[in-house]
Chains A and B, each alone.
Chain A
């Protein structure tokens, strides 16, 4: 398997623009997670899905952030409008059957810079 695939790998945008990050989980995995990593706040869980259904979005910082999983092989994280403080590395991860006990496999991340 190719592993978790994220695109784009780098995104530079201006404040106020819409940003869409994409993720393809490992085939057959039931769980998908979106994380954000910054120097100041470390690794934060934003939202996770089980069988395409959002389970816990309590980590989403504000209404400007939204995530969808229209099918088992694709998820998006959208920021609208973007702000400089959204600059971070965003990771997608997937796991096979459970969210807490199975190994999570991480993608390479998307480095977002908002100017």
Chain B
């Protein structure tokens, strides 16, 4: 069965530091891959999406992710964290007629 694994339920970084959130997927064929962000008391919103083609995908708010088929990974990065990046981040994979979500990673940013 398809699955998405997010390593680390909590990640803490200092403001200005690199953000790295890890995501691995399992699928028999290269899936579409998504990163969603959920700010406190809000719904999920799309950060970025990989379909086909270029493996480095740029999203909103300075985030980007790289699709690595050999590693079945789709890690999310941002060069310099901002306080406003504090949120929960969900990785998702395209499934049969629905998305397969990971369990989420809560990002804390310290001043």
Residues 73 to 109 of chain A near chain B (Cβ within 8 Å): 91, 93, 98-101, 103-109
Residue from B34, B51, B97 in contact with A50 in the complex, judged by beta carbons closer than 8 Å: B97
A45 interface residue per 8 A CB criterion: yes
**Closest 4 A/B residue pairs (Cβ):** A106-B43, A99-B97, A100-B94, A106-B44
Please tell me if the beta carbons of A48 and B94 are within 8 angstroms of each other in the complex: no
Whether A56 contacts B43 in the complex (CB less than 8 A), given A43-B104, A100-B32, A101-B51, comes out as no
Report B's interface with A, CB cutoff 8 A.
32, 34, 36, 42-46, 49, 51, 90, 94-99, 101, 103-104
How many Å lie between the Cα of A91 and that of B88 in the bound state? 15
B51 contacts across to A, CB distance below 8 A: 101
Given contacts A42-B103, A42-B104, A101-B32, whether A106 and B98 have CB atoms under 8 Å apart is no
CB of A99 within 8 A of CB of B45, answer no
B98 touches A100 (CB 8 A): yes
Interface size on A, residues (CB 8 A): 23
* Pairwise interchain contact B43-A99, C-beta atoms closer than 8 A: no
- Chain A residue numbers with a CB within 8 Å of B34 are 103
Cβ of A55 within 8 Å of any chain B Cβ, yes or no, is yes
How far is A33 from B99 in the complex, measured between Cα atoms in Å?
A: 10
CB A6 to nearest CB in B, in angstroms, measures 8
Selected from A4, A42, A56, A105, the residue in CB contact (under 8 A) with B98 is: A56
Which residue from A43, A45, A48, A55 sits with its C-beta under 8 Å from B90? A43
Chain A: which residue is nearest B42 at the CB level? Answer: A108
Q: Which residues of A contact B45 (CB under 8 A)?
A: 106
B94 to nearest A CB, angstroms? 4
The answer to whether A107 and B43 have CB atoms under 8 Å apart is: yes
Given contacts A42-B103, A103-B34, list 17 more A-B pairs with CB under 8 A: A4-B43, A31-B97, A43-B44, A48-B98, A50-B97, A93-B44, A100-B32, A100-B96, A100-B98, A101-B94, A103-B46, A105-B46, A106-B36, A106-B43, A107-B43, A108-B43, A109-B43
